[in-house]
Structure 1
Amino acid sequence: MRNTVLALCLLGASSISAQFKVNANLPSDFQVDDAYLFAYDGSKDILLGKGAKKGNSLSISVPKSYKGMLRLVLFPSNNSIQMASENQDINLTVDKVENKAIKQVTFLDTANKYFETSQNGQKKKELIYPALLQIKDYYKPTDAFYSALEKEIATLSSSPETGGNFPFINYYNETASKYVNNPDYKNIPLQEYSDFIVKSGSFLETSSLLKPILISYLNTAGKDNINADIDKLLKNVDIETPRGQTVLSELIDIFDTYGMADMKDKYLKEAKELKCTINDRLASTIRGQEELQIGAKLPDSKLYNTYNTKAKSISDVKADHKVIIVWSSTCSHCTAELPKIIEKYQALKSKKIEVIGLSIDADLKSYSDLASKFPWVSAADGKGWYSEYAKNYNVHATPTYFILDSSNKIVAKPDQLSQVFEYFNLK
């Protein structure tokens, strides 16, 4: 993206189980070893089902009722296909693949045909509408083209398309248009954001829009009164309720992602001091933060596709200290910083320090091309941002560093490579 209440949010309050399937037609030469279907709880992934390619087809059954956004992820190519569920069968065809990347998908079911059409209209509104407004200034009302511009501007500025047969898709379109993709979102009163979050139904969790809405709220609030505005929001949503706890969890994750340590610590402390029963979402956030704080023992991970070691896990690697680096070959900061470690590697080894590079590359060849040149321990599971390493270590960006002692306790969490060298007094 992982409580009875949460299940109701995700699967709907209906007591009748309504099974549906996601069916995909794939090119014969497109390799798919595993396929995972994810739903959403806010911005977190919820695994709904798994499947594998048989011939040219792939089918995943969903045994419970679900209306919301879905994401189909295909390995080993690590392609991701977004779609909307109205609790009906979803059918699609992958029409075009280039260099293992899916370039064109055609949806065959009515709901996603409608969703795709409405989303294309929204993209035109986001990209073309501002340009048309600027172009209009260069024409006079008496010009023939001026009338055409006004007509297209009026079309693009209208409310998003809605239809009575697609309640989730209509909710998604209206919500995204107003609170996420609206160029004037900062003119929406903070109280209106807050009231919407409180009163919105269970589609808010399954839409994947909660985090973007909260970011819009924070950007609208600005820096001057940010703490007071967050406190007002949390008071309104009531953090003793499941919705309030999910909002609190999302905010903690946002602050962590953007390096706002003081804010993260403040609201994490508030979450840990709650006396009521907390939902799984917030419990997971608290647990994840506690497991990665200085003084905690780093959660162990298996090592896959390794270089320079026969160890099967991080704990199997023996050293007085370990420098853990979560990286990717597609990360420019990583490819700039990692070669600098080569210059210091023998000095690190002389101090009984081992470097362990955990790649979140989706392409194992790209990983190998770099890892084979490094003298330290390297590993990758080939699942990109769905990697065990990204999940276990709450990685929002690469490179991410941890320094461990001999018992695998976290003794430092440097923000950059220079701080790693400083910790070990290496110039």
Structure 2
Amino acid sequence: MKKIFLLSAALSAFSLQAQFSVTIQAPADFKEQDAILYTLNGSKDIVFTKEQSKNNTWTFKYPKNYMGMMKIYFPNTNNTFNFISENKNVIVKLETENNKIKDIVYQDEANNIMSKLQEGSQKKDLILPALSQIKEYYKDNTEFGKALKDEIGRLSGTSNNVDQAQHPFIAYYNANYSKFLGNNEAAKKITQDEMINFIDKSNDMLETSSLLRPMLVAYLNTGGNTNVGASVDKLLDRLKVETPRGQTVLSELIDIFDVYDMKDFKDKYLTQAKNLKCTITDRLASTIKSNLNVELGAAFPNYKFQSAVNTTAKSLYDVKADKKVVVFWSSTCSHCESELPKLLEKYNDLKAKNIQIIGLSLDVDKDSYSKKIAAFPWVNDSELRGWNSSYVDTYNVHATPTYFILDANNKIISKPEHVGDVLDYFK
């Protein structure tokens, strides 16, 4: 019994050591009840849990070790912000105005350091070149010239060195961002083999750091446009797609090819993912599922409307038509600004053929959305959550506008690239 008690006590001590809390404090006039905590896997936010406000304070208990990027999302006011965890307590104080976050005050050491380092890095990249040019027009012995010289010296000397023992994630992030993605000569000389070796040998902070996707894009660019397939095969052969790291990288690459409209490569590696016989990770399974949802011939998943206008239908399936055009768009999207008016010009002709248009907006601002849809007579709906909208993952949406044409049974019969393709289809 004594040995069991000691073992139990040791396990309890480890559990307490591994656990940390995230505390968010907001002013009394911030009208929000719910907050959602996300972790990160590659470039994908993973929901951890949702908490309700207690006296405008949200407290999340994280039960295990986690070093990396995290995110808080307030779904009712559509506010979001990012921070880091180094497996220590995080305390954040928000300053708000009219239900919008104005400023974020980090009260824990790690986030305070990370915030200052990123601010200094941005100034170094954006302001330092301009100051160096301005300095040419002022003499060093003038008051303004001296001030310029001092500021240039300060920014030039900004250091990203961090005590790795005290702040392992910050040290990892800054060192590897500078080495592989920084705007410096050393980063430009990095080879594909060096990148492959890092991606293969790095610890789990690669997935939680937000560095993986930009590193993969940089890796593909290093190989050149004519060697994309060979570059990917070389990387995946080294990582092995049966491993969690290999599957995360495969998932990221499929999404990258989708974003950059590299259809042949996307189809090739999506097929490879579908044909895997090993255990599939949640990350890759999510990518496979969202792509299966929108394949030609697939039944377009139903969507329950939130507050649809120009219809009494309760869901996408309730809209009855011989054919439907579903368009994902946003009032802040410049391509939507030029394409949707062309759809509007032909709307009456399409409606006469019993073709209905359904617009699902990725807007955030209600006023902007409402003003825009006043001109659109078709079915319109929005969650007003931007890229946090539920249909982004469901329908594998990576850009706006994105179009789908459905038949009367809600099966996907076409995936037009542009509004011109939509109109040509119905000729």
Are residues 134 and 370 of structure 1, via their aligned partners in 2, closer, same or farther at CA, if it must alter by over 3 Å? closer
1:72-83 pair list within 5 angstroms? 72-83=72-83
Which letter does structure 2 place at the counterpart of 1:253? D
Superposed CA offset, 1:164-197 (max 9, x none) = 2221222112122222233433310111010000
Flag structure 2 segments of 5+ consecutive residues without an equivalent: 1-12
In the alignment, which residue of structure 2 is the partner of 1:127? 126
Query: 3-state SS of the aligned residue for 2:236?
Result: helix
1:274-285 pair list within 5 angstroms? 274-285=276-287
Shift of 1:26: 1.3
Structure 1 range deviating more: 241-250 or 60-69: 60-69
Shift of 1:132: 5.8
Shift of 1:233: 1.3
Coordinate RMSD, CA, aligned: 2.6
In the alignment, which residue of structure 2 is the partner of 1:261? 263
Superposed CA offset, 1:122-167 (max 9, x none) = 22332244446666888999999698688447514x5543452221
1:8-407 pair list within 5 angstroms? 16=15, 18-97=18-97, 100-131=99-130, 151-152=153-154, 155-156=157-158, 158-184=159-185, 185-407=187-409
Which letter does structure 1 place at the counterpart of 2:191? P
Q: Distance in 1 between matches of 2:76 and 2:362?
A: 13
Shift of 1:308: 1.4
Which letter does structure 1 place at the counterpart of 2:77? S
Superposed CA offset, 1:361-394 (max 9, x none) = 1233332222243211111122211111222111
Q: Distance in 1 between matches of 2:149 and 2:28?
A: 50
Superposed CA offset, 1:238-289 (max 9, x none) = 2121101111110010010111111111111222232322222112212221
Shift of 1:109: 1.1
Calculate the TM-score normalised by the size of structure 1.
Answer: 0.88
Are residues 36 and 110 of structure 1, via their aligned partners in 2, closer, same or farther at CA, if it must alter by over 3 Å? same
Superposed CA offset, 1:211-259 (max 9, x none) = 1111111122221322212211111112121101111110010010111
Counterpart contact for 2:26–2:96, Cα < 8 Å: no
Q: Distance in 1 between matches of 2:103 and 2:330?
A: 26
Q: Distance in 1 between matches of 2:388 and 2:172?
A: 28
Counterpart contact for 2:329–2:362, Cα < 8 Å: yes
Which letter does structure 2 place at the counterpart of 1:67? M
Question: Greater RCO between the two (CA within 8 Å, min separation 6)?
Answer: 1
Query: 3-state SS of the aligned residue for 2:71?
Result: strand
Query: 3-state SS of the aligned residue for 1:315?
Result: coil
Q: Distance in 2 between matches of 1:194 and 1:140?
A: 48
Counterpart contact for 1:43–1:211, Cα < 8 Å: yes
Are residues 150 and 340 of structure 1, via their aligned partners in 2, closer, same or farther at CA, if it must alter by over 3 Å? closer
Which letter does structure 2 place at the counterpart of 1:196? F
Shift of 1:107: 0.6
Superposed CA offset, 1:18-59 (max 9, x none) = 332222221222221421111001111111121233333232
Which letter does structure 1 place at the counterpart of 2:29? D
In the alignment, which residue of structure 2 is the partner of 1:4? none
Q: Distance in 2 between matches of 1:377 and 1:57?
A: 39
Counterpart contact for 1:218–1:226, Cα < 8 Å: yes
Counterpart contact for 2:43–2:252, Cα < 8 Å: yes
Q: Distance in 2 between matches of 1:115 and 1:28?
A: 28
Counterpart contact for 1:39–1:206, Cα < 8 Å: yes
Counterpart contact for 1:69–1:208, Cα < 8 Å: yes
Shift of 1:399: 0.9
Counterpart contact for 1:22–1:91, Cα < 8 Å: yes
Which letter does structure 2 place at the counterpart of 1:170? A
In the alignment, which residue of structure 2 is the partner of 1:6? none
Are residues 267 and 140 of structure 1, via their aligned partners in 2, closer, same or farther at CA, if it must alter by over 3 Å? farther
Q: Distance in 2 between matches of 1:258 and 1:371?
A: 29
Which letter does structure 1 place at the counterpart of 2:64? K
Which letter does structure 1 place at the counterpart of 2:316? I
Q: Distance in 2 between matches of 1:205 and 1:195?
A: 15
User: Percent of aligned positions with the same letter in both sequences?
Assistant: 48
Flag structure 1 segments of 5+ consecutive residues without an equivalent: 1-13
Shift of 1:355: 0.5
Counterpart contact for 1:304–1:380, Cα < 8 Å: yes
Query: 3-state SS of the aligned residue for 1:374?
Result: coil
Are residues 137 and 198 of structure 1, via their aligned partners in 2, closer, same or farther at CA, if it must alter by over 3 Å? farther
Q: Distance in 2 between matches of 1:54 and 1:423?
A: 54
Q: Distance in 1 between matches of 2:114 and 2:323?
A: 52
Counterpart contact for 2:325–2:404, Cα < 8 Å: yes
Which letter does structure 1 place at the counterpart of 2:360? L
Counterpart contact for 1:133–1:153, Cα < 8 Å: no
Query: 3-state SS of the aligned residue for 1:358?
Result: strand
Q: Distance in 2 between matches of 1:334 and 1:62?
A: 41
Superposed CA offset, 1:198-222 (max 9, x none) = 0000111111211111111112222
Structure 1 range deviating more: 394-403 or 180-189: 180-189
Which letter does structure 2 place at the counterpart of 1:278? I
Query: 3-state SS of the aligned residue for 1:277?
Result: coil
Which letter does structure 1 place at the counterpart of 2:168? P
